[in-house]
Structure 1
Amino acid sequence: MAYNQQHQHQVSHQVAKTATAVTIGGSLMVLSGLTLAATVVGLVAATPLLVIFSPVLVPAAIVLFLITAGFLASGGFGATAVAVFYWMYKYAAGEHPVGAEQLDCVREKIAGAAAQLKGRAEQYSWKN
């Protein structure tokens, strides 16, 4: 008898999940259809206005885009500069910011290559 009740509980749970999924899915389908219809109606209503005002709107949109892009680029470059200066301050103060070990390694490699090059130049130079 317990098995039958457990089976009925699982079936009713599955039916409830399915009914909920169908209800939510159907509601979302109706909303997407209404959104599509409203978009089409809005586009049909706005198209004549866009055509009439396009000689003004297109250049205005281009100018607005360029101004926005300029401000965003300027802010990004400024934030990057502040971050770089902060990193350099920490490095110069003796703290070890992220990447300091890599910078030290590269500096040692360059110093070693310069010393090697100096040694070779001294070997091939003419001594007076």
Structure 2
Amino acid sequence: MDRDRDTRDPRIQVHTPTHMTTTHGYTGGSTGPTASQMIALVTLVPLSGILFVLAGITLLGSLIGLAIATPVFILFSPVIVPAALLIGLAVTGFLSSGAFGLTGLSALSRVVGYIRLVGQRMPEELDYAKRRMADAVAFTGQKTKDVGQTIESKARESGTTTASART
């Protein structure tokens, strides 16, 4: 009963071609390249050959140019090397000067922004400081008054005790 059931995955479909036969009567074999593959082959083989020839010509030209330029470089190297060094240093100087300038502008912009922010908050902070100072002065005045009264009362008590001690 279980053998009658098909256990294959239903998502997999197998198609067997019936039109592909060879001269030997074998079915299911390959018949060779298709027409589009032949067109691609006919187009790409000459194109790749031309590109290889151009690459060879370019390599040959580079080698000839190097062979001609090497003695010139050797003869003029006392001039070329310092000139290249001077140009390299000048470019480095200009780039670093620009970088330092941008850094300075950025720092200046940051300081100006901070000063503006502090300038906006300054009146509020000054009012708060004035109130705190007035509170501190009032507290100190009250404490001074209390201490003065304490001293006065102690002086009266001691004056009364010294007056009674004399009599």
Structure of greater Rg: 2
For normalisation by structure 2, the TM-score amounts to 0.40
| Structure having the larger proportion of residues in helix | 1
